[in-house]
Chain A
Amino acid sequence: MTAPIIQLTDIRKSFGPVEVLKGVTMDLVPGRVSALVGDNGAGKSTLIKGLSGAQPYDTGNVVIDGVKTTLSSPRDAAHHGIEVVYQDLALAENLDIVQNMFLGRESTHNGMVDGAEMELQASSTLASLSVRTIKSVRQKVSSLSGGQRQTVAIARAVLQKARVVILDEPTAALGVAQTEQVLQLVRRLADAGVAVLIVSHNLADVFKVADHINVLYLGSMVASLETTETNYNDVIGYITGIKTQEVSA
């Protein structure tokens, strides 16, 4: 098996007296789609926020490329190639696709924003993800559908040479066809060697796209399963706390 890019061991995080993460262990491996599932309040968001650097963990080991690291700011995370695509996507609707994909990291030429170069890179990134539904990269994001917006947000992560892409509920607001498109995109992303972590409530999507499923229950990683070796009912059992499995690091 390929060496994981990120290994989390014994991650803990408390908010005051409330222990939200109670020693979580998880690996993210290049070329694989891992899913993170769990009921509301299980600690999924807290786990992701730690990886994104937005809300550092209290204790525990974060090992990236075999080296122990701390992720104390979003900049740290970006430096390690970790990109998070949040559920609300964080796109500026009044800007076009190119401007959104480069927001905050625009390339310049003679001190001015280099629209041509950015356009070329944005366009080839989208094309390499086999995105066919977008007509023009100079469309305003306000004119895009939900699935297309998700695509732009993912493409932005790819453009930043992300090695780890974390998707927070990527299909929550999408219709059937658009969900299909986004899941295909997620698959292509992993096939290209990116470690993908998908956080979702939708088990059908998870089973369709994920290679590996991690289940959080009240702050503990109660199961870490290969998708091929488990089934729907088992996963639901773990999510609801009816079943438990000891996860070894």
Chain B
Amino acid sequence: MSTTEGKEKNTVSPPNPLLTTPTTLIGSGHDGTVRDQFRAWIQRIRGGEMGMLPALGGFLVLVILFSVLSPFFLSPINLANLLTQTAALAMLAIALTFVILLAEIDLSAGVTGGVGMASWILLVNKVHVPWGLALLIAFAIGAVIGSFIGYFVAKVGIPSFVVTLGLFLGFQGLNLVLLGDGGLYRVETPEVLAIMSNNLQGWQGWVLAAIIIMITFFTGLYDRRRRQKVGVAVRPFPLLLAKTAAWAAFALIAVGLLNQNRSTSIIQISGVPIVVPLAIAVLWVGTVVLDRTRFGLHLYAVGGNPEAARRAGINVARVRIAAFMICSTLAVMSGLFSASQTGTIEPTAGKDIVLQGVAAAVVGGVSLFGGRGKIIQAAVGALVISSITNGLGLLGLPAGITFLVTGGVLVLAATVDAVSRRRSGSSSLARG
């Protein structure tokens, strides 16, 4: 029913003239020469957007330090060891990043991995389910646990610290119930053991390197083409070449080192451990999800300002639940890596690793305040932490020192995070 009489109806929405006015565009950070780009980058770093720079720098410092102190550190066998030692931790740190980005925490991630693998071994040993199917079920159990946590955090409104602390305690009990007190199962599935103990053949390693290089180059090229087609500024082409070259150098050197014989006996051991391509695949998929999908963007938005996200029409609860589901599922993946490395599944699995996982993410530059950080940073953080353990171990220092140093590095990283946050806040005031 219309209440207006004699007034003309104006139901056709007029085109917004603002959007049709021809004007020059505002910069986007993609414009300008290589030199401008470099200068803008320096400015961003000084403004507190350091990204993975501190972690990468720290890692390089550690590598140089340890390789000077111990000639053994950079040997192929130790590098392979370092990678396999890092894998489970890195996977857990990646898993945790999804919830840390929301300024949440999952203390139960480690033992969730334990529950997943306990279910897996029981399915394989007692029910005789094929190992692959059992693994899928284990991941599904992880996802269900994650949705459970997410429900209590997002819908019921309990702080994630409390919910997951409860599960941390509860799941240790569940693992005891499942596996029996002191029950220790040996993993006998060769495919699972192979993840850590077997290696790619030499040529497969080079193919892996080639894939990494091509993905870097062609994603860059694709983005460039898309921007050109739409008609916005693109970065100078040499920058893409430089980026590709950096990745190429890293990949080729790593594969080259790992392809050398690292055995001390007559039987040759060489090649990239199978866990490496697995971890890289997860890393790549996770990065694409976070950087390029609406879900990823919404995850950052909810982490940065949940109220803004809610008002923008984002289903905040759904994003939270999804993040916990991803975290718990990847935690089972981390549990799988651990089981493959130790060759055993025990009730206490995953109890100690979770805080290290949080530490790895923070050391990598993922902010506990939420909304800042990438999963590759978590992986680099894990590398930093395990190289400390590995390097100090090589030097023959007692475990106490390792813990002290790791703790110090964590506090240092958290300080860098807090200071850079303050700086990025204060620079806005200064510009006023």
Q: B-contacting residues of A (Cβ < 8 Å)? A: 3, 5, 7, 9, 30, 61, 63, 65-68, 74-75, 78, 81, 86, 88-95, 99-100, 103-106, 108-109, 111-117, 119-120, 123-131, 134-140, 142-147, 158, 161, 163, 175, 178, 188-189, 192-194
B312 contacts A by Cβ under 8 Å: yes
* Given contact pairs A65-B10, A66-B8, A116 touches B230 in the complex (Cβ within 8 A): yes
Select the residue from B19, B231, B296, B427 with max chain A CB neighbours within 10 A: B19
17 A-B pairs in the complex with CB atoms less than 8 angstroms apart: A66-B4, A66-B9, A67-B9, A68-B1, A92-B304, A94-B300, A109-B226, A112-B288, A112-B292, A113-B297, A116-B226, A116-B229, A119-B227, A120-B230, A128-B19, A142-B425, A193-B16
Chain B, range 226-269, C-beta contacts under 8 Å to A: 226-227, 229-232
Q: A-contacting residues of B (Cβ < 8 Å)? A: 1-4, 7-11, 13-14, 16-21, 23-30, 40, 47, 49, 223, 226-227, 229-232, 288, 292-294, 296-298, 300-301, 303-305, 307-309, 311-314, 370-372, 424-425, 427-429, 431-432
Q: Is the Cβ of B17 less than 8 Å from the Cβ of A192?
A: yes
* Given contact pairs A125-B18, A175-B432, A119 touches B313 in the complex (Cβ within 8 A): no
6 new A-B pairs (CB below 8 Å) besides A81-B13, A126-B26, A138-B30? Answer: A100-B308, A109-B226, A115-B227, A120-B231, A127-B25, A143-B427
Q: Is the Cβ of B232 less than 8 Å from the Cβ of A123?
A: yes
Q: Separation in Å of the B54 CB from the closest CB of chain A? A: 18
Question: Number of A-B pairs whose CB atoms are under 8 Å?
Answer: 190
Q: Is the Cβ of A145 less than 8 Å from the Cβ of B300?
A: no
CB-CB < 8 A to A135: which residues of B? 26-27
Q: Is the Cβ of A138 less than 8 Å from the Cβ of B301?
A: no
Q: Is the Cβ of B49 less than 8 Å from the Cβ of A193?
A: no
Which residue of chain A has its CB nearest to the CB of B314?
A104
Which residue of chain A has its CB nearest to the CB of B25?
A123
Q: Top 9 A-B pairs ranked by shortest CB distance? A: A104-B312, A94-B304, A94-B371, A92-B304, A127-B23, A66-B9, A90-B308, A103-B312, A116-B230
Q: Is the Cβ of B10 less than 8 Å from the Cβ of A66?
A: yes
Tell which of B27, B293, B307, B432 touches A112, judged by Cβ atoms closer than 8 Å: B293
Q: Given the complex of chains A and B, what is the CA–CA distance between A95 and B101 in angstroms?
A: 13
Q: Separation in Å of the B427 CB from the closest CB of chain A? A: 6
Q: Separation in Å of the B240 CB from the closest CB of chain A? A: 15
Q: Is the Cβ of B19 less than 8 Å from the Cβ of A125?
A: yes
Which residue of chain B has its CB nearest to the CB of A91?
B308
Q: Is the Cβ of A128 less than 8 Å from the Cβ of B18?
A: yes
Q: Is the Cβ of B23 less than 8 Å from the Cβ of A3?
A: no
Which residue of chain B has its CB nearest to the CB of A84?
B311
Q: Is the Cβ of A124 less than 8 Å from the Cβ of B11?
A: no
CB-CB < 8 A to A93: which residues of B? 304-305, 371
Q: Is the Cβ of B309 less than 8 Å from the Cβ of A92?
A: yes
Q: Is the Cβ of A90 less than 8 Å from the Cβ of B29?
A: no
CB-CB < 8 A to B313: which residues of A? 74-75, 78, 104-105
* Given contact pairs A135-B26, A138-B30, A144-B428, A106 touches B305 in the complex (Cβ within 8 A): no
CB-CB < 8 A to B14: which residues of A? 30, 163, 193
Q: Is the Cβ of B21 less than 8 Å from the Cβ of A128?
A: yes
Tell which of B9, B28, B298, B424 touches A143, judged by Cβ atoms closer than 8 Å: B424
Q: Separation in Å of the A68 CB from the closest CB of chain B? A: 5
Q: Is the Cβ of A127 less than 8 Å from the Cβ of B24?
A: yes
Tell which of A9, A67, A89, A92 touches B301, judged by Cβ atoms closer than 8 Å: A92
Q: Given the complex of chains A and B, what is the CA–CA distance between A208 and B49 in angstroms?
A: 39
Q: Given the complex of chains A and B, what is the CA–CA distance between A67 and B11 in angstroms?
A: 8
Q: Separation in Å of the B30 CB from the closest CB of chain A? A: 7
CB-CB < 8 A to A95: which residues of B? 297, 300-301, 304, 371
CB-CB < 8 A to B292: which residues of A? 112-113
Q: Given the complex of chains A and B, what is the CA–CA distance between A134 and B24 in angstroms?
A: 13
Q: Separation in Å of the B21 CB from the closest CB of chain A? A: 4
Q: Given the complex of chains A and B, what is the CA–CA distance between A74 and B310 in angstroms?
A: 11
Q: Given the complex of chains A and B, what is the CA–CA distance between A108 and B296 in angstroms?
A: 13
Which residue of chain A has its CB nearest to the CB of B424?
A142
Which residue of chain A has its CB nearest to the CB of B15?
A161
Q: Is the Cβ of A131 less than 8 Å from the Cβ of B300?
A: no
